[in-house]
């Protein structure tokens, strides 16, 4: 058995030298130092909020371009479209003013849902210029606006529940 140990130690180069003087004291000093409390950096959250704002502006700009196309296709729909756009923009402003750490996740989810609806709307706009059955496509576009409003309304309710949990618990919905 001793031959195996001798053979192992002779084949491997182990450092058998003593550490430099004062090594033990430096080691104990480092062990006894108070731990530095690492504060959570919220920089990533500010970056995420900036990205969301840019996404919101992009969606808004895209949405305005698509609004014009719908209004051009059927001027009688313009008034309805203007109502939806104004209401959506108003609710988006309200949501942005209520953005906080507690509401960040649900706002992100709702904005992703709105982005999906925006992509669907773009497809409908393309179909509108290609089809002769414009009435069906326009109804689908209006339903798209209604879906967006429903998402935003639900989001505002969730934000209210987060900000005022006791008020919402005592309310009765009919």
The Cα–Cα gap between 137 and 160 comes to: 35
Give the mean pLDDT per block of 10 residues along the chain (174 residues). Answer: 75 72 81 70 68 72 56 65 86 86 86 90 82 82 90 90 69 56
Please state the φ and ψ torsions of residue 133, each to the nearest 5 degrees: -90, 70
| pTM exceeding the 0.85 threshold for the entire prediction | no
Please, are residues 106 and 98 in contact by the beta-carbon 8 Å criterion? Answer: no
Buried b (16+ CB within 10 A) or exposed e, 113-146: bbeebbeebeebbeebeeeeeeeebbeebeebbe
What ranges do the domains of the chain cover? 43-170
């Amino acid at each position: 058995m001793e031959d195996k140990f001798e053979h192992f130690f002779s084949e491997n180069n182990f450092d058998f030298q003593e550490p430099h003087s004062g090594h033990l004291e430096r080691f104990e000093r480092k062990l006894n130092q108070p731990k530095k409390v690492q504060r959570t950096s919220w920089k990533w959250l500010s970056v995420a909020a900036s990205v969301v704002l840019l996404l919101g502006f992009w969606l808004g700009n895209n949405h305005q371009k698509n609004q014009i196309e719908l209004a051009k296709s059927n001027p009688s729909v313009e008034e309805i479209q203007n109502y939806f756009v104004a209401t959506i923009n108003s609710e988006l402003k309200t949501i942005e003013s209520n953005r906080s750490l507690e509401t960040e996740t649900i706002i992100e989810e709702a904005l992703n849902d709105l982005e999906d609806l925006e992509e669907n709307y773009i497809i409908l706009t393309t179909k509108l210029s290609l089809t002769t059955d414009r009435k069906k496509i326009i109804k689908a576009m209006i339903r798209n606006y209604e879906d967006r409003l429903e998402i935003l309304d639900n989001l505002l309710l969730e934000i209210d529940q987060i900000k005022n949990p006791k008020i919402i618990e005592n309310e009765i919905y009919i």
